Amino acid sequence: MAARSLASLTISFGLVSIPVKLYSATQPRAGVSFNLLHAKDGSRLRQQYFCIKEDVPVARDEMVKGYEFAKDQYVTFTPEELKAMEEKGSGAVEITQFVPEEKIDPIYYDKAYYIAPDKGGAKPYSLLSEAMRRTGRCALARWAARGKQYIVQIRPVDGGLVLQQLLYADEVRPISEIDIQTTEPKGEELKLAEQLIDQISAEDYDPSQYKDEVKERIEAAVQQKVEGREISISPEPEKGGAQVIDLMAALRESLNKAPAKKAPAQPAATVKEAAAADEEKGAQRKPARRAASSEHRKTRKTG
């Protein structure tokens, strides 16, 4: 099924304009969702808002948005006032600078989109993608949509471009707020840890190797319920408290239990070359053995 575009945008790159179409890169509704029902008769429930002061339900046409500037003190805004403060979307994505891609910490990554060239945009789209790939840089740009202003990253991926919405600085907590106690690792422990990392390392990330097992269990249970079958519930094993372990012993045991590292696969040409070389060596060795046997027989006759 062909993907449907979400919007048409124009990326400005200096004096160059690139018409593009925007596509969702993720599936936010891929999880299993449940509805709240009345246990007595199985009917859907409707959410209601209650006034804390009067303890009565409030209709939507009686609601107004307010901002709490102090404890239990609010300033209110009308829908017209809120609308006037929104950023007006223009469909323009203005590139402001280019930076090395590795300089952007993934902690700032928010939602991702694919962008593809629209009519007349193939040539400048390919130019921007290839230029960023060669220079090892990505673009930072401003984008206004849904009444908000976003900072986005544009980077080349697999022959195309990804528009990655970024979080603002004040939306990311600094790690300095977390109390982290560190110690100096011992040399032998560090060596074993490095061996363990090397043993279970891979050169590429294959997302298909990982499955959402919780989602699969829920879907299987839903299907059983639909078919009128009861599901069996096993009690969870009791979890003990945190254990103080011997770090060296744990590292050694981990190395013993870790799967052996696979040798990198050889290209077909290399395998054929190796087989041919083995054949040639074998052919060279066989005449030598025959020659040695003939010489040995001559010596025995002379004796």
Q: Where do the structural domains in the chain lie, given as residue ranges? A: 7-27+86-171, 53-84
Contact status, residue 222 vs residue 32, Cβ threshold 8 Å: yes
- Token pair, residue 258, equals 């870790």
Backbone angles phi, psi at 113, to 5 degrees: -135, 150
Residue partners of 77: CB distance under 8 A and separation at least 6: 64, 65, 66, 67
pLDDT of residue 277: 58
CATH topology classification for 7-27+86-171: Ku70; Chain: A; Domain 2 (2.40.290)
Both tokens of residue 293? 């046997």
Give the model's pLDDT for residue 303. Answer: 44
**pLDDT at position 133, please?**
94
Bridge partners, 114 (sequence order): 23, 162
The number of C-alpha atoms within 13 Å of 221 and in the hemisphere containing its C-beta is 11
- In terms of phi and psi (left: phi > 0; alpha: psi -120 to 50; beta: otherwise), the region of 72 is left
Cα distance between residue 115 and residue 163, in whole Å: 7
Distances (CA, A) of 62 to 49, 57, 59, 83, 103: 11, 10, 5, 18, 49
- pLDDT tens track, the chain, 303 positions: 678 899 999 999 888 999 999 999 987 656 688 899 999 999 999 888 999 999 999 998 999 999 999 999 999 998 898 888 887 778 899 999 999 999 999 999 999 999 999 999 999 999 999 999 999 999 999 998 888 899 999 999 988 999 999 999 999 999 999 998 888 888 888 988 888 888 888 888 888 887 877 888 888 888 888 888 887 777 666 665 556 568 778 888 888 887 776 666 555 555 556 556 556 655 555 444 444 444 444 444 444
Helix (H) or strand (E) holding 12: strand 7-13
Scan for tokens 């829908």, then name that residue.
79
Q: pTM of this prediction?
A: 0.68
